[in-house]
Structure 1
């Protein structure tokens, strides 16, 4: 009888302890879910972007307008993009760049968009000089090269296909990123989309991580070159 009584007490203790542990586990899980589901306000997003150095290439005279633009884009559309200068294709933040991928692929497009990106390099204290653009073309293929700061890069070297614009876009970003690495900068240009209204943006790894954690991961937001190639 005594043994039975002890067994009942032991089982009761184990049941209570198990219930307690389950309650703790559920509470911890709930807390973790609450943390992961926390959504920042537009102002908080802008503050974090500023801490991470996103606006350090923005002119002082345009800084407030750029911050307001990013705040509204996030609050209203959950979108990572700032304002442009009037009717131009120039972004005020000096990190975003618009590119018409068809124009980039064609004769004259490469140097046009190198000129567009050059002010960003200048703000970073880097060189972006081009020379010795070469073109060898026949009915089926085209080899297009250019030197950036004395190093030759391939703008296009393929048989013609329906992927021409995309290939030129990838090669353009990769040659720019190669120059950023060559000049010891940890920032890189990340692709967003290609077409008549293509875009890409300059980010540090921490900025890219912040964008991935707080914005949608879709084809309207920056991704790594590896992911972009796999998607396309």
Structure 2
């Protein structure tokens, strides 16, 4: 599909959240995917990934995940300074603020003339965690989490009972969990802990994939990019959303 892109500045309880919207150019109504970036916000690789998904018939929304902490339009570099700033923002934002961001996105989507009302979520790195967090919203029918960081830790500020894994029993939709075996940010024993917790959650539907890939193997810049694995990842996500959002 030919796609179009535009910007929507959405009000949230913690300030304006710039959201990049990528959607099919033709007339019609389409399911939506809330697409969560790495700590660097909408970089070139994130924009291209979102547009790939949009080209398969989805409206893909990429919010600025740290909108409260940066000027609108901020994009951090894939360098030491960008990584340090992104990690500082991750530590500074209360986890509950992501919930109000998700509500704003879902409510806005369901008011749009191009929306079918069906919503999923997807994300890479911290965005994989934020997609998992979005799955706590009852409207989210399916979620694809790619090498989700911090699910096994409490490094995102939270109050007791508010950590995403502590609330996993609230997830109603289907989960797709994808990991790289050579990812130092989520070592094997920690992935096993996440798997065991999900597997012990009554009624939770999920699939689990571990590939011989490094952290950020989906990112089409840098030495860790694996095009073959990236293609497999997109195919798995598209199969999930094709079954659940259409």
TM, length-normalised to structure 1: 0.26
Larger of the two Rg values belongs to structure? 1
More strand by share: 2
User: Normalization by structure 2: what TM-score?
Assistant: 0.25
